[in-house]
Amino acid sequence: MTMTFDGMWSAIAPIGREASTGGYRRYAWTPQDAMMREWFAGEASRRGLDLVVDLAGNQWAWWGDPDAAVASGRPGLVIGSHLDSVPDGGAFDGPLGVVSALAVVDTLKAKDFLPSRPIAVVNFVDEEGARFGIACAGSRLITGKLDPDTARGLRDADGVTMAEAMGAAGHPVEHVGPDGETVARIGAFVELHVEQGRGLIELGRPVAVGSVIRPHGRWRIDLDGQANHAGTTRLKDRRDPMLDLASVIQAARAAASAQGCVATVGKVRVEPNGVNAIPSRVTAWLDARGPGEAEVRAVVESVGVRSGGLAVQESWTPETVFDVPLADRLSALLDNAPMLATAAGHDAGVLATAGVSAGMLFVRNPTGISHSPVEFAERQDCLSGIEALTAVTEELAR
């Protein structure tokens, strides 16, 4: 197992890595994404798995016949995660789950395990939404939670639509949309993921089981001003939206602190963004998450009121509770692994909301840092994660 893990990890390490930052730029439907998908297809083929690409572009590598299992009333077990990244993301967020799932298949095949139901390794497309702004686009599309026409029309920073990007990557765009046949094949889904916080550091454990995904959303705040000369316009004659941006940033932090939430302004667009011009417009994106919907909504309202800007909701994910009997079973199986809530969205959460029995395993992150080039997990903890996922897979496909 360790051999195949190390080999796979080395194979994908250079793909989409930006030399200047050390971070990854693997955005959906780009050449970098295509290289990751080709690598996945090759790994499936090498193991004799049947590769299926669904209507949204998610890749499924099946060990066994998924449709016979559906017909017999006991559909398959799916393990895996995603291979795309945020801008300058780390190596682990996503790929650790896919590589671990492939390593599980190797381990089970090596010990001549005979699954009682088909097993798939999945690579969900466009989990991060880094390019088109909607996270978990692949799982949302197949479960009908993202309208296909809306998706096709989403534009990246260069004005390229998702439809154009899919087309350029060779994916047939006309059939993108709900894919009931694919969803019906998922009897259960377990996603292994690097932890994106410090929970396991404090607990002193290598692996945890996911309990809930806290409610979270994204809002866009447009702040209008009046473009003018930076040198010759008196302060009293200015309508400078940069001052409103300062209010947004500070209001978000203050309201999050008051409500027990987290709030982040991580993306800003300034027009025209000239050193000697007062901006005509500043757009800020607010990411807010918290223990409950009321708290998160209070943060967003406070930011809008205090900045004078209008917060337009771009996405909203209510609290998602993972399948409780499944989570309990996983925890018991894994030496009473601790349960962890998370404020990060995942494809497992989208599937859970769609009625799929879904669960997650988290692998310890020794710094708590994620969405960063320095994101890390110790090799020994990664191997513990694969051991745990192997045990879970054996249990659920015995």
- Which of 169, 227, 321, 354 is the binder for its own copies (CB under 8 A)? 227
Residues within window 282-321 making contact with its own copies, judged by CB under 8 A = 285, 287, 289
- DSSP SS3 for 315: strand
- DSSP SS3 for 191: strand
**Residue 203 beta carbon to its own copies: minimum distance, rounded to whole angstroms:** 15
- Which of 101, 135, 334, 337 is the binder for its own copies (CB under 8 A)? 135
Query: 68 or 230: whose CB is closer to its own copies?
Result: 230
Cβ burial 76-97 (10 Å sphere, 16+ → b, else e): bbbbbbbbbbbbbbbbbbbbbb
What are the two backbone dihedrals, phi and then psi, of residue 307, each rounded to the nearest 5 degrees? -100, -15
How far apart, in whole angstroms, are the C-alpha atoms of residue 357 and residue 103?
23
**Residue 171 beta carbon to its own copies: minimum distance, rounded to whole angstroms:** 24
Residues within window 339-398 making contact with its own copies, judged by CB under 8 A = 342-345, 368-374
Peptide bond into 31 cis (omega under 30): no
- What is the enclosing helix (H) or strand (E) of 81? strand 76-82
Question: Which range binds its own copies by CB under 8 A, 175-183, 225-233, 294-302, 384-392?
Answer: 225-233
Of 289, 284, 299, nearest in space to 262 by CA: 289
Indicate the length of the chain as a whole number.
Answer: 398
Peptide bond into 272 cis (omega under 30): yes
Residues within window 28-87 making contact with its own copies, judged by CB under 8 A = 86-87
Query: 61 or 137: whose CB is closer to its own copies?
Result: 137
Of 283, 281, 156, nearest in space to 228 by CA: 281
**Residue 125 beta carbon to its own copies: minimum distance, rounded to whole angstroms:** 17
Question: Which range binds its own copies by CB under 8 A, 54-62, 130-138, 145-153, 324-332?
Answer: 130-138
Site size toward its own copies (CB under 8 A) is 71
Query: 1 or 316: whose CB is closer to its own copies?
Result: 316
Contact pattern for its own copies over residues 195 through 214, marking x by CB under 8 A: xxxx---------------x
**Residue 233 beta carbon to its own copies: minimum distance, rounded to whole angstroms:** 7
Query: 74 or 238: whose CB is closer to its own copies?
Result: 238
**Residue 394 beta carbon to its own copies: minimum distance, rounded to whole angstroms:** 30
Residue with tokens 């993301």: 89
Residues within window 231-270 making contact with its own copies, judged by CB under 8 A = 231-235, 237, 240, 242-243, 245-247, 249-250, 253, 256-257, 262, 264-268, 270
Residues within window 2-21 making contact with its own copies, judged by CB under 8 A = 21
Structure tokens at 296: 């998160």
- Which of 150, 273, 313, 380 is the binder for its own copies (CB under 8 A)? 273
Are 60 and 54 within 8 A, CB to CB? yes
Query: 52 or 270: whose CB is closer to its own copies?
Result: 270
**Residue 288 beta carbon to its own copies: minimum distance, rounded to whole angstroms:** 9
Cβ burial 326-351 (10 Å sphere, 16+ → b, else e): bbebbbebbeebbbbbbbbbbbbbbb
- DSSP SS3 for 265: strand
**Residue 213 beta carbon to its own copies: minimum distance, rounded to whole angstroms:** 9
What spatial distance separates the first Cα and last Cα of the chain, rounded to whole Å?
20
